[in-house]
A and B are shown apart, each in its own frame.
Chain A
């Protein structure tokens, strides 16, 4: 099977493959239009979410590694009933019942072929039982009183950026929300409750700092083989859970910074995780202009800075929350930045190969 790395950018899709001399761009597609999210499913199948500035968010799917695409139905919000108030509590502006952006896409689990989950801005979760032929808003979550406390962070409206289908039981699904914390269902979406106890919002009034709903979890990932472990890159810093996200502990002592957006966890070793730190919190560029990846291999007790192959002066790259991925074997890691730098490591981050320094701003990278 061809190993591929799909890279979604502000100006289209790039398909990167390993060649004799290293990873190279093998294919470009859909050039000119932004790609907010993508979902590879192996054997050259990839679904991409386009975010057209004028014409809305759309889905397309390729069966041949990005050479050709077919249009696919995009999720749509139901008609908003008269008299329903839905107001962002921080911005005091109405939440539009309208698909603004597809922000997360996942399959429904190995035992549920053809099922898909889709997280969106402004905060709706959608489910498809027919491989994306149709989508249904998960109304149990959308109508939950707690959902109405979610708020926009960097985006104007709240968004679901992470969907973690429990590998032990696909009825259990957890989502990460900016800004809404970590939510879980144990019955495939019929009922929902906020989890993520222990997440801390330093920027909130002290009596609300530990309120789980509304936390700005930037990204959350679950270890495939040890799903009790969930890593969270939060606006405040790095958190880790040993009970699948129900309770979280904060990790504060990480050089050069605990601030960032992206995180990946090794698929087999729950104690190994990687981050790309930046200066907190509104500055968001590498500390001292040195682009580094931080890695722990002992569950967060210590971290090391990985720099070989990464620019160590005048680097101002920001890596977005979907801008890093680790492959299924756990050896190859890739990340891409707002500056259009794309790096791949085949040895868990010890050495980095620059695939390109001149891509458009990178939104998401995924192996598959």
Chain B
């Protein structure tokens, strides 16, 4: 089953424990996750449902290609990491 975990920087703002969830795409996995942890949605996605500009979603070591539609496919054992892009000051 695909699994997802979040940058420690996000744990400072909202509860977002790792989960393993049944899903075929990044979008399906995030929706399943937000069903359990609804407060996390607004930290990862913007109001139009796209990945926030300064957030990175990585599947099995690679940046996802479809940051607006979240259609990137997952394998049965895919690992998804949600990071923040390096910026700030």
Which residues of B lie under 8 Å from residue A71 when comparing CB positions? 14, 39
Interface size range on B against A: 10 to 19
Q: Are B48 and A58 in contact (CB under 8 A)?
A: no
Residue contact A56 to B46, C-beta cutoff 8 Å: yes
Nearest chain-A residue to B56 (Cβ)? A54
B42 in contact with A54 (CB, 8 Å): no
Closest A residue to B46 using CB positions: A98
Q: How far in angstroms is the closest Cβ of chain B from A183?
A: 22
Q: Is the CB of A97 within 8 A of B47?
A: yes
- A contacts with B, residue count (CB < 8 A): 17
Give the chain A neighbours of B13 by CB distance below 8 A.
52, 55, 58
A207 in the interface (beta carbon within 8 A): no
Which of these, A56, A77, A78, contacts B52 with CB under 8 Å? A56
In the complex, B84 has a CB within 8 A of chain A: yes
- Say what secondary structure dominates the interface of chain A: loop
Instruction: Encode A99-140 as 1/0 by CB contact (under 8 A) with B.
Output: 100000000000000000000000000000000000000000
> Which residue of A is nearest B53, CB measured?
A54
Residue numbers in A under 8 Å from B43 (CB-CB): 52, 55-56
Partner of B54, one of A54, A74, A77, A97: A54
Q: Judging by beta carbons under 8 Å apart, are A54 and B55 in contact?
A: yes
B42/A77 in contact, CB under 8 A: no
Asked whether A76 lies within 8 Å of B47 as measured between CB atoms, the reply is yes
Interface centre among B47, B52, B55, B88 (most CB of A within 10 A): B47
- Is A154 an interface residue, CB under 8 A from the partner? no
For chain B residues 22-58, which have a beta carbon within 8 Å of chain A?
39, 42-44, 46-49, 52, 54-55
Distance in Å: Cβ of B3 to nearest Cβ of chain A:
21
| B73 at interface by CB-CB < 8 Å | no
> Is B77 interfacial (CB 8 A cutoff)?
no
Q: Could you list which residues of chain B lie within 8 angstroms of chain A, going by C-beta atoms?
A: 9-10, 13-14, 39, 42-44, 46-49, 52, 54-55, 84-85, 87-88
Measuring CB to CB, which residues of chain A are less than 8 angstroms from any residue of chain B?
Answer: 52-56, 58, 71, 74, 76-80, 96-99
